[in-house]
Amino acid sequence: MKMADMPTIPRGSATGRRSKVSADLPRPIRPGAGAAYAETIQPDPRWIARRRWARAGIIYTLLLACSLLFVGPLLFALLSSLKDNPSEWPPRLDPPQLNPANWAAAWQLGRQGGGNGWFGQFAPGRSVSFEVRYLVPPGAAAVPPQVQVPRRVPGAGAGAVRLGPFAADVAEVSPPQEVSRQPLARGTVVTYRFRIRNAGTVAVDRLPLDVSVPAGQVFQGATLWPSRQERQGRVQSWNNVTAGLIPYVFNNYVRVFRENYSRSTGQNLFLAWIRNSFLLATVRVLTTLVFAAMAGYALARLRFPGRNAVFFTLLFSMMIPSQVLFISNYLVLRDGIWGLAQIWGQQTLLNSFTGYLLSSVVTASGVFIMKQFFESLPASLEEAARIDGAGYIQVFTRVILPLARPALGALTILTFQGTWNEFFWPLVVLTAPQDRFTLTVGLLSFRRTYGVAFDWGPLLAGAIISALPVIILYLVFQRYFVEGISFTGTKG
């Protein structure tokens, strides 16, 4: 099935109206028909064309509205994953992280702190110049703000476990100097400048900042827009002034990678999960391709006793929920497949990639797809090869496999997506240690570490990162996705 040439059928109304009009053809055309004519006249082509255009416009609007429904939540999550507080109320669609002025400021501040523009830091001996602007109401006296570098952890949950040096220990803040005054009708906008210097001997990756003013003065702006404002706007708070561009815009993404380390091995957990998911998906794709193609070929083309019984069992297995099978499969892996795993020195196959891969070395639906595909191939080609004296294996590798490319493509995509997204079986089999998780199980542990503290930023960032590979794969290989669905869908 080619989705590229979509059917043109129910163009309902347009077709319908046109044929109705042509049925009216014998009637005389009455140009300039006024209100006096009650019966139907032949509309001119422009009248009809206008209706076609309007109809297309309405359909596009409808399509756009539906897109908003289906992509909206994902896009909104993507947008909010950049925010300092993704749960802000009311939710805004213009986080400061998307403002180019803030990008430039983050770049500059990152360089001033001794890092490069992309990734900043706060290095010994470096000092950062920072400006804040406040509106002082008429009659009130302008009081310079109080500036403080707080001892603050990057966030809740895993972010609260911080061992490294704190900027508060090394930072020296110069007293804020007034640099300009701009009178307005509502009051005076006063700009203050201060410098923060690293007087210590260690570089710090984060420089948090709190600036507070007396009640009445209204925050107008700063070199970098604050991460949050507290106490009715009297305190402006920055998570990291010298972040540099990438940690500023993708703060939650950086946190996902920086905050999650294995307690036993010190390995970066999130990277490990991504690697595990890629590894398992890749190996599983390879084994599934080989074994499903072999089995599918045998079931489709070769005749041997018991073939129907095997096929019936295959169909039956596709209907049985995995919850029925997992208890026994769990025990089989626990015992190392009746001790067979001891051959290569494993007592148990639980929490082992070998175990996971052995238990999902091929899928019933994969075999089914390949069988259906091989049955749709003409038999003449392999018969010719057989007459030329080729053996079964030769026919399979030289003739059949090259022809099976579309089905193998669909199977590759389906298996990769299936493994990448798989949740239940990894949850049962890969439970410890944490760096043995797949990305899906890892994200579940994120819900426990961050979700409890309502620290939604890293959770959303992790979710988006884990969704990206499959979405990219989908956008590139759409055709295979669609074919895969129609293959499995029509199993009936």
User: Within 11-40, which residues bind other proteins (CB under 8 A)?
Assistant: 11-13, 15-17, 19-21, 23-24, 30, 33-35, 37-40
DSSP 150-175: ----S-SGGGG---S--HHHHEEEPP
Query: Per-residue x/- mask for other proteins, residues 308 to 347, rule CB under 8 A?
Result: --x--xx--x-xxxxxxxxxxxxxx----x----------
Among 123, 156, 203, 482, binds other proteins (CB under 8 A): 482
Q: How many residues does the chain have?
A: 492
Residue with smaller CB distance to other proteins, 225 or 420: 420
Window 420 to 479, contacts with other proteins (CB under 8 A): 420-421, 423-424, 427-428, 440, 443-444, 446-448, 451, 454, 456, 459-460, 462-464, 466-467, 470-471, 474-475, 478
HSE at residue 116, side-chain half, CA atoms within 13 A, is 3
Tell me how far apart the alpha carbons of residues 268 and 264 are, in angstroms, rounded to a whole number.
Answer: 11
Determine the number of helices (DSSP H) and then strands (DSSP E) in the chain. Answer: 19, 9
Tell me how far apart the alpha carbons of residues 217 and 142 are, in angstroms, rounded to a whole number.
Answer: 8
Return the SS3 of 465: helix
Residue with smaller CB distance to other proteins, 57 or 339: 57
Residue with smaller CB distance to other proteins, 141 or 393: 393
Window 394 to 423, contacts with other proteins (CB under 8 A): 396, 417, 420-421, 423
Residue with smaller CB distance to other proteins, 87 or 342: 87
Alpha-helical regions (H) of 81-186: 100-112, 167-170
Tell me how far apart the alpha carbons of residues 117 and 66 are, in angstroms, rounded to a whole number.
Answer: 40
Window 256 to 315, contacts with other proteins (CB under 8 A): 290-292, 294-295, 297-299, 302-305, 307, 310, 313-314
Instruction: State the nearest-atom distance from the C-beta of 237 to other proteins, in Å.
Output: 20
- Nearest CA-CA partner of 274 in 429, 119, 425, 461: 461
Distances (CA, A) of 141 to 138, 217, 234: 8, 9, 16
Tell me how far apart the alpha carbons of residues 46 and 307 are, in angstroms, rounded to a whole number.
Answer: 65
Q: Considering CB under 8 A, how many residues would be counted as binding other proteins?
A: 131
Residue with smaller CB distance to other proteins, 130 or 477: 477
Q: Which residue has the tokens 């990152």?
A: 110
Query: Per-residue x/- mask for other proteins, residues 49 to 88, rule CB under 8 A?
Result: -xx--xxxxxxx-xx--xx-xxx-xx-xx--x-----xx-
Instruction: State the nearest-atom distance from the C-beta of 358 to other proteins, in Å.
Output: 8
Residue with smaller CB distance to other proteins, 384 or 471: 471
Residue with smaller CB distance to other proteins, 87 or 177: 87
Window 360 to 389, contacts with other proteins (CB under 8 A): 361-362, 364, 367
Instruction: State the nearest-atom distance from the C-beta of 261 to other proteins, in Å.
Output: 21
- Nearest CA-CA partner of 429 in 374, 349, 368, 492: 349
